[in-house]
Structure formats: structure tokens, C-alpha cells
Amino acid sequence: MQKEQVIIVGAGPSGLAMAACLNHHSIPYIILEREDCIASLWKKYAYDRLHLHLDKQFCVLPHMPFPDSYPRFVSRQQFVSYLDDYVSRFKISPLYRRTVESAEFDGETGKWIVKARNLGSGEVEELEGRFLVVASGETSDPFTPVIEGLNTFPGDVLHSTRFRNGKAFQNQKVLVVGSGNSGMEIAFDLANHGAQTSLVVRSPLHILSRDMIYLGLILVKYIRVNLVDSLMVMLSKLVYGDLSKYGINRPKQGPFFMKAVYGKYPIIDIGTCKKIKSQEIQVLPSICSIRGNEVVFETGTTHPFDTIVFCTGFKRSTNVWLKGDDYLLNDDGISKLSFPNHWKGKNGLYCVGLSRRGLYGAASDALNIADDINSLIQ
């Protein structure tokens, strides 16, 4: 059995931030990563035009700033390069292709026993650590909803993690299911490449520009959220007008309130709204069923499509392997606890980047956890 002070599960940005913070305190650790590389979502499963949606000052990881040459909104490739440099700087060496099968606290020894399958050898390896940090990410397992008749669809069906760019879809009729930031941006990319693009929008949503988000993030530090939300909604109405005639309605609750309470991000517009208004992108309601290449919508209308892209988010499988925790994480792998105490569980269990607060939240979590562990081992 391999014995470590801290066991980290996941080598995405959250896990890397955690490793760097432990390194800063000279605390030994080990990282288990099920993929064959760090930050696999960014390296292997993200679309080409992806940029960080927030200004780089809100996305930097602990103890290493972005290069001065980077723009305000960092591209996917720039962020990957930054993470590679981060790993080199802090000498982070994950154990790759390790899938955690169980992690359980042993009350007699006061240690966490983690069993991980080595996907190369097929063997189950056992590790023991005083502390366990769950950094497996909010975007760990792609989710595609169950839709009646989906198996009859003759065209391509793919999750957003398999979409790279719109070049291959020129002149095709493509349905994008999901109107979060990924869905909006993928629809924009498809339309730019000449696809006949439709977008399913099921729920009301806030649409803000990058500059509005930046202003809001600054203001929310100094004034009440409801006042910031009122300003954001007013600015959104001035810039985007009434979008209800295009099938998009605003929620009754404000964007920063919804982000804090429900973890629901506002849409950061990069040009999609203009294409919706010009009818280059058609907005459609919820799907009822699929019959061959015909998709039936809740209004009773049907439309034929060549391809369906599901931008329907992710689930987490933490509840499958984390044993005995009924305090820190819910069944969907998100922290049950309210900010700012959401990162600390019981018996040396922590989570980083699981509070729907983005990279900024993950960086803060990692700093807090490392300080807490350091205080406990002194």
C-alpha cells in the first residue's frame, strides 16, 4: 500500500491548483487522473474557438499569473499552454490512467483508503492518505438526455465534447440542443461555417456581454447583489432589446443571484444574439420526440435535421466511489455546503472546484484547503 499525506483525485485545473498550493507549503501529495493527460477537457474534449468566458484576472491559478502577452480573454490553446507551464513550474506528476473505484475513511487508522484501477495493467492499486481532496471537476461525465426516438435518428449525434468546429457541417441542417454558453457558442460557430443552424432554448436565460460581466464582477464586491442585478438587466435590455419575439425570455431573478444560488451562469454573448435576430440561427422550444430525421417540438411543429449536437452539460460520478460521506457532497457531486465553507468536509475530506464558482472559485478553494491542511500537520 502506498502511503501519502494528501491524495488528490483529478488533474484538471482544480487538481493542479491544489497540487501547486500543497507544493507551496512543502506538503507531499499524489494526484490520480483517469485520462492520459492533465486538463483532458481542455486538451481533448473542447471545441476549437473556446475562450475563457471571463477576464483573465478572474481565471488565474494560484502562485502563477498569466503571461503579460495574453489577451483579456484567453484562448483554449493559450490556457492549455499556461497549464503545461504550470505543471512544469510546480513539478506536478500525476499518476495517469487511474480510475478511482472506492475511497473510504478508516476510523481506526484515521486514514483514507483509496482503491484505483490502473487502466494500463488492469490491477487495482491501494493508497492510504491522511487527507483526501476531490478535484474531479464539475464537467467530468458528458450527459445526453433520454429522448423518445433518438435511436431512430439516421444522422450524426454528438455531445459538445466531440465537436471541434463547424467546417464539416456546411450546408447541413444542424440542431444544437442546450442554450448554455457552450450551446450558444457552438451554434454561432456552425452559423459562421454555413450550417443551417437551430438552437433549442428550454428555459429563460440572461444574456450579457463580456464587459457587462466584468463590470458586474467588480461591483458585486462593493454593493448588494440585487442592485448589481438590476443594473445588469437594464444594460442587457438596452443592448439586446426584447428577445421574447425570437423565443428567448429573461428570468425573473437576476443573473448574479441565479449564479450564486443555483450555479446557473448567464450567457456571455460573443455574437450569437445578432445571428438569432438576423434569423441565421433559429430558436426552437423543447423536444418532445424524434421520428427518423424529423424532430418533434413541444409546440407540435416538426423540423428535419442532418445532425444533432447535444450541449447538455455534465454529470459527476463521485457518489459511485466516495464512500461514507453524507456531509460534503450531494448525489450529483456538488458541495452541499454554502459559500464560504463549502470546501471542507469531515475526517480530512475536502473538495476543490465543486461549488459552481469557476476557475476563480477553484483557485480560492485550493488556497484555503492547503492552508487548512498545513495548520493541521504543524
| pLDDT over 70 at 253, yes or no | yes
Average pLDDT of 52-67?
A: 96
360-378 pLDDT, tens per residue?
999 999 999 999 999 999 7
| % of the chain exceeding 90 in pLDDT | 94
Residue 21 region by backbone torsions, left for phi larger than 0, else alpha for psi between -120 and 50, else beta = alpha
Distance of CA 233 to the CA centre of its chain: 24
Rg of the Cα atoms in the chain: 22
Of the pLDDT bands very low, low, confident and very high (cuts 50, 70, 90), residue 1 is low
User: pTM (2 decimals)?
Assistant: 0.94
65-101 pLDDT, tens per residue?
999 999 999 999 999 999 999 999 999 999 999 999 9
According to the model, what pLDDT value does residue 7 have? 98
| pLDDT over 80 at 10, yes or no | yes
| pLDDT over 70 at 223, yes or no | yes
According to the model, what pLDDT value does residue 247 have? 95
152-205 pLDDT, tens per residue?
999 999 999 999 999 999 999 999 999 999 999 999 999 999 999 999 999 999
| % of the chain exceeding 70 in pLDDT | 99
| pLDDT over 90 at 261, yes or no | no
CA 118/CA 97 separation, integer angstroms: 6
According to the model, what pLDDT value does residue 262 have? 84
Q: State the cell numbers at 174.
A: 444542424
**How many residues would you count in the chain?**
378
267-324 pLDDT, tens per residue?
999 999 999 999 999 999 999 999 999 999 999 999 999 999 999 999 999 999 999 9
State in Å, rounded, how far the first CA of the chain is from the last one.
Answer: 25
Contact 351, 7 (CB under 8 A): no
233-242 pLDDT, tens per residue?
999 999 999 9
What's the whole-number average pLDDT of the chain?
A: 96
| pLDDT over 90 at 116, yes or no | yes
137-154 pLDDT, tens per residue?
999 899 999 999 999 999
Of the pLDDT bands very low, low, confident and very high (cuts 50, 70, 90), residue 260 is confident
Exposed e or buried b for every residue in 72-107, given b needs 16+ CB within 10 A? ebbebebbbebbeebbeebebebebbbbbeebbbee
